[in-house]
Chains A and B, each alone.
Chain A
Amino acid sequence: MHEYSLIQSLVTRVEQEAVARRATAIHRLVVSIGELSGVDPELFQTAYDTFRSGTLCDRTPLELRQVAARWACPSCGREIPKGEVLTCARCELPARIAAGGDEILLETIEMEVP
């Protein structure tokens, strides 16, 4: 259940930003979750709904953007379809994953400032 520890990090980071900018309210959070980030979006949402009460995010909706894992050859750029061997058949190089496919990122905080 590492989703809870991730939510704790997320809320702490948002609160830091809100305090630094003297925000009076936080209206929306946008988080992107890569397919290979090791995070289940539904569990993440549930953990957020549980954990946010009593924090500055108490009434803040969380928008999750799911990012597909896309692998491609770093040399010729050929995309490697899901489930295939992660080596470029032509260049014999290990495939590289596109940005975001294995990350959990806090993208945007929409806040109300005086």
Chain B
Amino acid sequence: MCTTCGCGDPKLVPVDVHEKILAGNDRQAQHNREHFVEQGVLALNLMGSPGAGKTALLEATSRATERRWRLGAVSGDLATDNDARRLEAAGIPSRPITTGQGCHLDADLVHHALHGFPWTELDVFFIENVGNLVCPAIYDLGQAANVVALSVTEGEDKPLKYPVMFKAADLVVLTKCDLLPHLDVKVDRILDGLRRVMPKPNAIQVSARTGQGMAEWTGWLEERKARVPKRAAGAPAAHTHEHDHDHSRDHDHSHAHDHEHDHEHRHADGTVHRHGHAHGRDH
């Protein structure tokens, strides 16, 4: 490793990066977040185990709000679009994100799902994540808050077993509380577990079947909705920020776009062209 005589030997250099491995996802998530804030849409990342009652909670939310709010959702699922169809039937415009073997949603998948979906018209946009208490917690999607659905049938020690998920939660919704009389589960023990993994513990108890706790849940939504700056009437739907992102994961380019899908592409050779189109993941 000669560095002095100029003989041309290679040298070893340590490059200090100190960067999050998920920095790329975080940048895309920040881009999504700018979209949501600019449009005055409250975006929520709804996570929880398979069968925790995420879809039922959204169906009950539609009933509880009597369609006063414009709700919408994207639903991540490994193989079916059942959840999206259930939500549509409940009056929540919805689109499936089928992940194949993917155990979580990432910011890029959510961004793609937004294209062609009328999310800018919504008051509350739910991103129903893949049922999983592990991986989804570490991927920022651009949401304003994380909501974790935990059904009382899952056992008292779930918060202590899955601390990463509950640490990431802004609100835990304890679902299926109508079943408590039939179970040996003590809600106090679940709440105690949450205090040991969540620095700001916040939980509400609901039942989608009986409507118990739904007022508290919609109250929380109302409070979060009030924090989102409302887009001024008549303001253009197009957003103004410029950004770099990768639409295909294998073809890097930077472009600016608006919601009419006018794209300005800057190619590697420096040329720029604009065109309008709708595009999917093969772009």
Contact = CB atoms under 8 A, between A and B. Distances in A.
A6 B22 contact: yes
A41 B163 CA distance: 16
A96 interface: yes
Interface residues of B, number: 38
Centre residue among A17, A95, A106 by max chain B CB count within 10 A: A106
A106 B15 CA distance: 10
Contacts of B134: 2, 38
B73 to A, nearest CB: 22
A1 B21 contact: no
B15 A109 contact: yes
Chain A contact residues: helix, strand, loop or mixed: mixed
A104 B135 CA distance: 13
A105 B167 contact: no
B68 interface: no
A6 B17 CA distance: 16
Contact of A106 (B12, B21, B164): B21
Interface in A67-84: 71, 83-84
Interface string B96-111: 0000011110100000
Contacts of A27: 12
Contacts of B17: 13, 17, 106-109
B12 A94 contact: no
B199 A108 contact: no
Chain B contact residues: helix, strand, loop or mixed: mixed
B200 interface: yes
Nearest to A34: B164
Given A5-B106, A36-B164, A86-B199, A114 B10 contact: yes
Contact of B22 (A97, A104, A107, A108): A104
Contacts of B24: 9, 12-13
30 contacts: A1-B135, A2-B104, A2-B139, A9-B21, A9-B22, A9-B24, A9-B25, A13-B24, A17-B17, A36-B164, A37-B138, A83-B196, A85-B192, A85-B195, A86-B195, A86-B197, A86-B198, A102-B164, A102-B167, A105-B20, A107-B17, A107-B18, A108-B17, A109-B17, A110-B13, A110-B15, A113-B11, A113-B13, A114-B8, A114-B10
- The 7 A-B pairs of least Cβ separation, nearest first, read A94-B199, A2-B135, A38-B138, A38-B164, A86-B199, A85-B195, A109-B15
Interface of B: 8, 10-25, 101-104, 106, 134-135, 137-139, 163-164, 167, 192, 195-201
Interface of A: 1-2, 5-6, 9-10, 12-13, 17, 21, 24-25, 27, 31, 36-39, 71, 83-87, 94-97, 102-114
